[in-house]
Amino acid sequence: MGRVNTASKQELSVIQQEVLIGTLLGDGRLESRSKRGSARLRIHHGDAQRGFLFWKYDIFENVVTKKPWRVAWHEPRTGSHSAAWFFHTKTLTRLRPFHQLFYSTGKKIVPPTIGRFLTPRALATWFMDDGCMTSTSAIINTQGFSVPQQAILQRWFREELGLETRLQKDRLTYRLWMNRANAEQLKDIIRPYVPHCMQYKITPRND
């Protein structure tokens, strides 16, 4: 994997970089309010994915000061109750290059050079964030990225993994879709990096 040069004596470990890349393609975000360009990683997941959040916390624990916390709320309109788990890292200069990579336009994007940093572990992390498998396909919810940015990901899947994807329309946006044969190959690649609590992500749903 190409490493992001953090110009720091305390660089992120290889595993931390890989999980960070996958998380930024998925649900995680980097926040930068410092003029020095330092940033912090903020992660949250719903109650049902508590185990996944703590899996990430264990990986980043050495750059976190506060343990994950739970927030619960009530929706008066529907009468439902919801909860989510959160944690964030310290604000670190070593996260600045990642913020520059993913937020060069001010909004999170797919970097043109993302292929240099995608590894099986990064791919697994991304899929656990945004993917699901059915009995006939795999879907990755990339609706937050533009069509040209998704084309970068499609090209990487095709050229690096030999996996074909197509853009599937989802209301007014698009997401990545692959057929059963490609989904099975994807599963073989990411399976070693999927913790027990997230095995359901690579277990086909009957829908």
Average pLDDT over residues 183-205: 95
Nearest to 40 by CA among 92, 1, 106: 92
139 and 71 inside one domain: no
Residue 71, Cβ neighbours under 10 Å: how many?
Answer: 11
Which of 102, 131, 147 delimits the end of a domain?
102
Confidence of residue 206 (pLDDT cuts 50, 70, 90): low
| CA distance linking residue 188 with residue 78, whole number of Å | 41
pLDDT band at 7 (very low <50, low <70, confident <90, very high): very low
Neighbours of 61 (CB within 10 A): 13
Residue 93 has pLDDT above 50, yes or no: yes
Q: Where are the alpha helices (DSSP H) in 40-133?
A: 50-60, 96-102, 120-130
**Together in a domain, 119 and 93:** no
Structurally, how many domains does the chain consist of?
2
- Looking at residue 153, what is its pLDDT? 98
**Residue 195 is part of a domain; what is its CATH number?**
3.10.28.10
Note down the domain range covering 95: 14-102
Residues 143 and 182 in one domain: yes
Identity of the amino acid at 123: L
- The pLDDT assigned to 49 comes to 96
Return d(Cα 5, Cα 1) in angstroms, integer: 12
Binning pLDDT at 50, 70 and 90, where does residue 4 land?
low
For residues 158 and 131, membership in a common domain is answered with yes
pLDDT in tens, 75-89: 887 878 889 999 999
Q: Does a structural domain hold residue 204?
A: no
